[in-house]
Amino acid sequence: MTSVMIVEDERIVAEELKRTLETMGYAVTGVASSSERAIALAVERSPDLVLMDIRIEGRQDGIDTANALRRRLQVPVIYLTAFADLDTIQRARKTEPYGYLVKPFSNQQLQGAIEMAVYKHEMERHVREHERRFHALHALGATPQLGRELVDCQQQRRARRWGELRDAQRRAG
């Protein structure tokens, strides 16, 4: 189940958004109304995604908060805001958000943005992991052929383990 944190300073809006997300099947890990609380909550609960209003309580706004969360936790952020002016969009763009929904938005728009953001973040994580492995192999002097052979070997080991597990389940059942 995808976990979502809400950063919204209007309590009624936050509660309605929380109910909507839970109805859609998402786990809401918390609601924060300020930057300080949002960062502390995200560190404590590690959400899969943050829905961020741009105008929030405190000295830092949602854009500053999203930037801090991206740097510290690499958590994807979708902005939910009433502000669609070019200056705000350009400032928000620098934080590399996974979405930008202008209020009011439909439940379908919200769910679509969440699903795309979670998928994109997961694919980016896989790419980073493959790049890390590639660089490690390259540092050891491995050739691309050796890299493919190692991947094949890993897949064969997984298939053997899966077969062993299936056989053990059959014997037990």
Please provide residue 8's backbone torsions phi and psi, each rounded to the nearest 5 degrees. -155, 130
Predicted confidence (pLDDT) per residue in 154-164, tens digit: 677 767 766 66
pTM of the model: 0.77
Give 42's contacts (C-beta < 8 A, 6+ positions apart).
5, 50, 69, 72, 73, 75
* Each residue's pLDDT tens digit, 118-133: 999 998 887 878 777 7
Sheet of 49-52, strand order: 27-32, 3-7, 49-52, 77-81, 99-102
> Whole-angstrom Cα distance, residue 44 to residue 25?
22
3.30.70.380, 3.40.50.2300, 3.30.565.10, 1.10.4080.10: which CATH number matches 3-124? Answer: 3.40.50.2300
pLDDT at 60: 96
pLDDT of residue 127: 80
pLDDT under 70 in the chain at which residues? 137-138, 142-151, 153-154, 158, 161-173
Q: Name residues whose C-beta falls within 8 Å of residue 50's C-beta, 6 or more positions apart in sequence.
A: 4, 5, 6, 7, 38, 42, 66, 69, 75, 76, 77, 78
**Among 80, 116, 100, 97, CA closest to 6:** 80
Return the domain boundaries, the chain.
3-124, 127-172
